[in-house]
């Protein structure tokens, strides 16, 4: 396994639409494993392939591992899709690609989703709470959308200005 470099805004690769996965093979499973290791190391509760510079519709999620004493419960999904959604939930979000900036986002409170698991089998499931929030956040990444695209323009510019300042001096 390997820890991958996480891209940060305003990298243009974060704004691209990722391509559907055509085959879940060993190479894709290696990408999933590397993404999971990268997410755990960050640490984060989710990661989408575009964040590590791979324009494929692949996400990993584990909303449990941050809780002390809980076992890892990783979810690997290729071509995730939301089938149904209901209600509204407000959550203070952050993103590994927009470090050190947090803001409340309104999302669907409940979702029914499907995708391919790490063996290429189609799975469907329901989610609410933080899992529903994280799933919507990760699918957004596959469509080139960041959580700051859901907040007011003023706050978004603030976040991007902060990023610019931070990136100064980097190569």
Catalytic residues: 138
Residue 133 within binding range of Ni ion, rule CB under 5 A: no
At residue 152, φ and ψ (nearest 5 deg) are -65, 155
Nearer Cβ to ligand GNR, position 28 or 135? 135
- Tell me if 127 contacts ligand GNR by CB under 6 A: no
- Judged by CB under 6 A, the residue of 57, 118, 137, 156 near ligand GNR is 137
Residue 162 CB contacts under 8 Å (≥ 6 apart), including other chains: 100, 101
Indicate the helix (H) or strand (E) that contains 62: none
45 interacts with ligand GNR by CB under 6 A: yes
Of 63, 60, 4, 61, which is closest to residue 29 (Cα–Cα)? Answer: 60
Could you give the CA distance from residue 15 to residue 51 in angstroms, rounded to a whole number? 10
Q: Which is nearer to ligand GNR, 34 or 138 (CB)?
A: 138
- Regarding 62 and contact with ligand GNR (CB under 6 A), the answer is no
Per CB under 6 A, 57 contacts ligand GNR: no
Residue pair 122/74 in contact by the 8 Å Cβ criterion: no
Stretch that binds Ni ion, among 12-20, 75-83, 92-100, 156-164 (CB under 5 A): 92-100
């Amino acid at each position: 396994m390997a820890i991958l470099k996480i891209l940060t805004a305003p990298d243009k690769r974060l704004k691209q639409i990722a391509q559907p996965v055509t085959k879940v093979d060993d190479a894709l499973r290696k990408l999933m494993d590397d993404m999971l290791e990268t997410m755990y190391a960050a640490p984060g509760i989710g990661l989408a392939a575009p964040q590590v510079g791979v324009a494929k519709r692949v996400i990993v999620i584990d909303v449990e591992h941050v809780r002390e004493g809980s076992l890892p419960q990783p979810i690997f999904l290729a071509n995730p899709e939301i089938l149904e959604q209901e209600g509204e939930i407000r959550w203070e979000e952050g993103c590994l690609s927009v470090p050190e900036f947090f803001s409340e986002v309104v999302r669907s409170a409940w979702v029914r989703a499907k995708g391919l698991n790490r063996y290429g089998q189609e799975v469907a499931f329901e989610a609410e709470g933080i899992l529903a929030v994280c799933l919507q956040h990760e699918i957004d990444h596959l469509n080139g959308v960041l959580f700051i695209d859901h907040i007011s323009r003023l706050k978004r510019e603030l976040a991007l200005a902060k990023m610019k300042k931070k990136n100064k001096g980097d190569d």
